[in-house]
Amino acid sequence: MELTGADIFVHSLQDEGVEIIFGYPGGAVLHIYDALYRQDKIQHILTRHEQGATHAADGYARSTGKPGVVIVTSGPGATNAVTGIATAYMDSIPMVVFTGQVPTHLIGNDAFQEADNIGITRPCVKHNFLVKDVRDLAETIKKAFYVATTGRPGPVVVDIPKDITAEKTEYSYPDKVSMRSYNPVHVGHAGQIKRAVKLMLAAKRPMIYTGGGVILGNAAGSLTELAQLLGHPVTNTLMGLGAYPATERQFVGMLGMHGTYEANMAMHHCDVLIAIGARFDDRVTGNIEKFCPHAKIVHVDIDPSSISKNVKVDVPIVGCVDNVLKAMIKLIKGSKQRPDGAALKDWWQQIEDWRSKDCLKYDHTSELIKPQYVLESLYKATDGNAFVTSDVGQHQMWAAQFYKFDKPRRWINSGGLGTMGFGLPAAMGVQLAYRDETVVCVTGEGSIQMCIQELSTCKQYALPLKIVNLNNGYLGMVRQWQEFFYQGRYAMSYMESLPDFVKLAESYGHVGMKIEKPGDVESALEEAMAMKDRLVFMDFITDPAENVYPMIPAGGGQNEMILI
Amino acid sequence: MRHIISILMENEAGALSRVAGLFSARGYNIESLTVAPTEDPSLSRMTLVTRGTDEIIEQITKQLNKLVDVVKLMDMTDGPHIEREMMLTKVRAEGDGREELKRVSDIFRGRIIDVTDKTYTIELTGAGDKLDAFLQVLDRALIIEVVRSGVSGIARGERALKL
């Protein structure tokens, strides 16, 4: 049967198994919206801004592992989506973003609401497509999902001119698609895996360092098995939290700029580093010249270009993390060699020594609310079981330090791009995927205002998010750097005229709470969590002078942390 | 070190800008870049000359391979190869100078492909340093314009970049 491009679009998404899409209508996508209106299999979530739509789809993807799907109109619709696309790109999140485009004959004419979407998004997508013929539409959509979700995942943009959505052709959705230029690797090199296992078994001061790749590759189970088989300490990056249970003894905390002392010291002193699905980001390595000076490095990653990009490694292994870890487990189980128990015992003693510094300690006697205390209380109030999204800044670091994630896909934050405004819309995407779960957005008064309009979306779709606003009146991380490195010249890091967040939440139809005393923190959180069907905006007035510790200052090595 | 990287890519609009964009976004330098369709019209072949340490060249080839439109690539400089560039040079050729220019062109195995009473246009093919050498022996004041094609390269013997 012949269908219009708009109907082909909708049928293709249905056949792809898409259940929910996030978007915002406009002139160039009107045919598509009309086709969406005439069906009821796919739910469309109307956000208040295209950035919100992309972050919501991103949160949905991070929490479920399924690709997030977005539709926006041409011109400003697409340019507003760019921040969300770039955010997903930096963290390798599978997403397919459909952008409207002016009709084919007007492309290049500076038409109304025309932008070069392909050109603008090129540096921040895994790949993008311009559909030039309605007969290519279904196959292009199939390719977009295939590219977005395989190999190292990432966002894919499909730009669809308006006339294509009106033209008709026969519809058939391909079951499979293959591209001669795109063949992601699945299985790691057997010889390299053998070399790696040999190093791991012989290690005297081993360290397992894992990143977002373990979560994206659904390899948390294999990682836990491997680490426990070996008895090695495990650290996770900001993106990797939850890949190894944080309450387990072998977990030494997050590493990097605001990681724990024990994690960073163990990195610095280890003799074998096993990096899995991590990319040696500058916030992790600190000064690259001083990084892991004594270690032989094994690096498992699905993306060959991640290997030896920042740090030269000794045993590179390209492949799906889960496949490689399973192969390692099999080899270790079949090997006569056991880990060096005596050496590991000494190593653990050393690590416990570092751990005893209690690097995350803070003042419990203050009359002001300490943000760390809010996070600790949140952890208790949610039994450590919530999905937690965050924005970017001090609150993000405190959430990462103090909320102990035992499961993957529970900690949702913009690690790579560091996008303020991410937390609230991302939480919406999570809540839409998990209607009955507790979803918390940890944010600050700076970040929350960057996508505050989405409170309206939350009302429309009855999303009972719990927003924990750590309100210190400052752009806290900027303030902290200005205190440390700019002699306290607080240029533009103080916000005057903040809104009354309680009234603001109420005006959107939600519950607002203001908490000003440490003694009220726990009861407020409990009260909020008990309101299962309402969005509660908790405005915690916190100590404005609190800083995130410990910290590796810029240019420092991992053994040069500033402790409180 | 200087490297010549040959790339087979899907002959799609925008493929060239993906490569050029990658180089500018990651701060790699491009000395020259040529691109044209191959005998299979669905494929383009690009020849790219760049410079960098071994680590940078490794990253460049990995990043190029990561581009979805790139089907296959080869670093020509990994093995014996032939490198050619074509140059068209328009020179002022008047009076006694005409004979001298003809001689220089012959020495370099150039061909004069256009003649007027005041100018010669000389076509010259060879490796880049040969073209440089030719330009050096010409009197600068006589050169009207120079057009270089950029480098093309092919591996010697059995080694080939093909699907």
DSSP A196-208: HHHHHHH-SSEEE
Give the β-pairing of A439-444 and A466-471: parallel
Q: Does B141 touch chain A (CB under 8 A)?
A: no
Instruction: Please report the pLDDT score of residue A554 as a whole number.
Output: 83
Give the contacts of A39 (CB within 8 A, at least 6 positions apart): A10, A14
Q: What SS3 state is found at A251? A: strand
Instruction: Please report the pLDDT score of residue A555 as a whole number.
Output: 87
The Cα–Cα gap between A236 and A242 comes to 8
CA count, 13 A, side-chain hemisphere, A412: 34
B91-124 burial, b for 16+ CB within 10 Å, e for fewer? bebeeeebeebbebbeebebebeeeeeebbbbeb
For residue A123, which residues of chain B lie inside 8 Å, CB to CB? 21, 25
- DSSP state at residue A369: B
CB pair distance less than 8 Å for B13 and A122: no
A13-32 burial, b for 16+ CB within 10 Å, e for fewer? bebbebebbbbbbbebbbbb
The Cα–Cα gap between A313 and B153 comes to 32
Instruction: Please report the pLDDT score of residue A496 as a whole number.
Output: 85
As given in the structure block, the two tokens for residue A67 are 């690709």
The Cα–Cα gap between A154 and A122 comes to 12
As given in the structure block, the two tokens for residue A442 are 């940890």
CB pair distance less than 8 Å for A181 and B10: yes
Percent of chain A with pLDDT over 70: 100
Name the β-bridge partners of A150: none
| Burial category of A407 from C-beta neighbours within 10 Å (exposed 0-12, middle 13-18, buried 19 and up) | middle
DSSP-derived secondary structure for A430-474: HHHH-TTS-EEEEEETTGGGGSGGGHHHHHHTT---EEEEEE-SB
List B residues 30-89 in contact with A (Cβ-Cβ < 8 A).
Answer: 55, 58-59, 62-63, 65-66, 68-71
Chain A residue with CA closest to B61: the answer is A305
Q: Describe the crossing of helices A321-334 and A190-202 by its angle, rounded to 10 degrees.
A: 60
Of A43, A112, A312, A330, which residue is the catalytic one?
A112
Q: Is A162 an annotated catalytic residue? A: yes
Q: Is A477 an annotated catalytic residue? A: yes
DSSP-derived secondary structure for A487-556: TT--TT-B--S---HHHHHHHTTSEEEEE-SHHHHHHHHHHHHH-TTS-EEEEEEB-TT----SB--TT-
Q: Does B16 touch chain A (CB under 8 A)?
A: no
The Cα–Cα gap between A66 and A49 comes to 22
Report which of A110, A100, A59 is spatially closest to residue A80, judged by C-alpha positions: A100
For residue B26, which residues of chain A lie inside 8 Å, CB to CB? none
Chain A residue with CA closest to B9: the answer is A181
Q: Give, rounded to a whole angstrom, the gap between the first and last alpha carbons of chain B.
A: 28
CA distance A307 to chain B (A): 9
Q: Does B12 touch chain A (CB under 8 A)?
A: no
Mean pLDDT of successive 10-residue segments in chain A (564 residues)?
96 98 98 98 98 98 98 98 98 98 97 97 97 98 98 98 98 95 93 97 98 98 98 98 98 97 97 97 92 96 94 96 98 95 98 97 96 98 98 98 98 98 98 98 98 98 98 96 95 92 98 98 98 98 97 91 89
What is the identity of the amino acid at A444?
Answer: G
CB pair distance less than 8 Å for A181 and B69: yes
Helix (H) or strand (E) holding A298, with range, is strand A296-301
Of A19, A66, A113, A484, which residue is the catalytic one?
A113
CB pair distance less than 8 Å for B66 and A305: yes
Instruction: Please report the pLDDT score of residue A185 as a whole number.
Output: 87
As given in the structure block, the two tokens for residue A529 are 């969590």
Q: Is the dihedral of CA A259, A263, A264, A267 positive or negative?
A: negative
Name the β-bridge partners of A176: none
Report which of A563, A562, A559, A564 is spatially closest to residue A264, judged by C-alpha positions: A559
Give the contacts of A434 (CB within 8 A, at least 6 positions apart): A63, A387
Of A16, A50, A376, A546, which residue is the catalytic one?
A50
The phi, psi pair for A528, rounded to 5°, reads: -65, -45
Give the contacts of A525 (CB within 8 A, at least 6 positions apart): A374, A377, A378, A381, A538
CA distance A21 to chain B (A): 25
The Cα–Cα gap between A379 and A64 comes to 22
Of A126, A142, A143, A162, which residue is the catalytic one?
A162
pTM for the model stands at 0.96
Helices (H) and strands (E) in chain A, counts: 21, 20
How does pLDDT run across A175-212, given as a tens digit for each residue?
999 999 999 988 999 999 999 999 999 999 999 999 99
Q: What average pLDDT does the structure give for chain B?
A: 95
How does pLDDT run across A27-39, given as a tens digit for each residue?
999 999 999 999 9
Q: What SS3 state is found at B80? A: coil
The Cα–Cα gap between A477 and A483 comes to 10
Q: Is A328 an annotated catalytic residue? A: no
A514: left (phi over 0), alpha (psi -120 to 50) or beta: beta
Instruction: Please report the pLDDT score of residue A341 as a whole number.
Output: 95
**Contact at 8 Å (CB) between A141 and A148?**
no
As given in the structure block, the two tokens for residue B13 are 């609009």
Instruction: Please report the pLDDT score of residue A52 as a whole number.
Output: 98
Place of tokens 């792809």: A16
Taking any CB pair shorter than 8 Å as contact, residues of chain A touching chain B are 118-119, 122-123, 126-127, 130, 147, 179-182, 303-305, 307-309, 312
How does pLDDT run across B33-79, given as a tens digit for each residue?
999 999 999 999 999 999 999 999 999 999 999 999 999 999 999 99
CA distance B6 to chain A (A): 15
Count, residues in chain B: 163
Radius of gyration of chain B from its Cα atoms, rounded to whole angstroms: 19
What is the identity of the amino acid at A86?
Answer: A
The Cα–Cα gap between A273 and B36 comes to 45
Report which of A102, A5, A133, A66 is spatially closest to residue A22, judged by C-alpha positions: A66
As given in the structure block, the two tokens for residue A123 are 């540096």
What is the identity of the amino acid at A525?
Answer: L
CB atoms within 10 A of CB A67: 22
Closest residue to B21, CB basis, from A122, A130, A312:
A122
Helix (H) or strand (E) holding A22, with range, is strand A20-23
